[in-house]
Copies of this chain bind each other. A is one copy, B any other.
Amino acid sequence: MTRSRTQADGSRAPTSADVARLADVSQTTVSQVLNGKAGITRISAETREKVIAAAARLGYTPNHAARSLRQRRTKLIALVLPTLDNPYFSDVVNAAQEAARERGYAVTVMPIREGDGFRASSLLQGAACDGIIVAGHENCASPELRLLQARGLAVAVLQEQSPDPAISSISVDLEAGGHLATRHLVALGHRRIGHVTERLRPAANGMSRIDGYRRALAEAGLAFDPALVVVTENSMAGGATGAERLLATEGEPATAAFVYNDQLAVGALARLRERGLLVPRDFAVVGFDGLAVGGFTAPPLTSVDSPRGTLGRLAAEVLIRAIEAGSPMAETHRLPVRLLVRGSCGGQEPGDPPP
């Protein structure tokens, strides 16, 4: 084991001593964290984070671990998902699994809740997979992803920008979806259009649903009114609460809502019904995802159809290509969406194909 390596540009490669110095911990701690040998509870989360951040910042690769990970081919890929509560993810998993199976790989799913802290090294050390597909804003932002990638795992993120040039990103065009949904409501004559959404992310990069919502409003010459944006919990119950609060907004009332996803929209439809509003006559609703359940609501839900099957399949294909190339081959894909017109808005937009 050499304690000093030379990089392609002639500079000295970082060592574990450099990482220890930057993180202000011992080399033993660095080794325990980076080689995944420490028990989950033995080293504090704070120390782990410091070591990983330092290693990522210096571009340090623990070579032994990398070699051992690379040599161990398990033919298993892991999907790290923030929740299994939304059927959106089961559609993605089903498609990823089918694509993986065609190539001789199996799929395992690791539910890691946003905010629980992504303890990927420990988890994935146990699972011993060849690559991971990660969803969830905080999971994708974890510095551990770069570390796992550096240690020989193929990594792809879903619905997020790639955190590293060597990490692939596969997403659907959320901005275009928000635009399509809102433009549909505008075309049907609505002028006070609300947006019921889960909490907005601090790092708005012009690529999310609400950006498309704002663009469609602006194109129609409608002012963006923050009072019509209702933030709620990401669940059916949250959708019900969100609809309730949108109805209670002061000023000229909303006559329609673009709702963050179909789960929320199912709750919103129920609450509107309870409040005596007839959808679509009294209020129009557009969801997002195009889930099966939207075909069975009262009325059936118009939604932005997100290509969940293509998303899952492509993510598995991209990941397996990287695994089999044996080196980072990052790809970036953004998939188009379409509007799925059912009954909850009350009309075809001029020029739309029949449903």
Given the known interface contacts A127-B128, A296-B267, A298-B298, the answer about A111 and B107 at a Cβ–Cβ threshold of 8 Å is yes
Q: Does A224 contact B (CB under 8 A)?
A: no
Q: Which segment, of A86-94, A194-202, A344-352, faces chain B?
A: A86-94
The distance from the CB of A138 to the nearest CB of chain B, in whole angstroms, is 17
A110 contacts the other chain (Cβ, under 8 Å)? yes
B123 contacts A109, C-beta separation under 8 Å: no
Shortest distance from the beta carbon of A269 to any chain B beta carbon, whole Å: 7
Number of interface residues of A (CB under 8 A): 46
With contacts A270-B298, A293-B293 known, is A84 near B94, CB below 8 A?
Answer: yes
Q: Are B74 and A84 neighbours in the complex by a CB distance under 8 Å? A: no
Contact of A87 among B85, B128, B240 (CB under 8 A): B85
Distance, CA A119 to CA B106, complexed state (A): 10
**Docked CA distance A107–B266 (Å):** 29
A-B contact pairs, 5 of them (CB 8 A): A40-B104, A41-B104, A84-B93, A107-B111, A127-B128
Q: Does A273 contact B (CB under 8 A)?
A: yes
Cβ of A39: which chain B residues have Cβ within 8 Å of it? 75, 104
| A76: interface (CB < 8 Å) | yes
In the assembled complex, the CB of A133 is this many whole angstroms from the nearest CB of chain B, namely 14
Contact among B74, B107, B126, B236 for A296, CB-based, below 8 A: B236
CA distance A211 to B106 in the complex (A): 37
A315 at interface, CB cutoff 8 A: no
Once bound together, how far apart are the Cα atoms of A7 and B83, in whole Å?
A: 48
Check: A182 CB closer than 8 A to any chain B CB: no
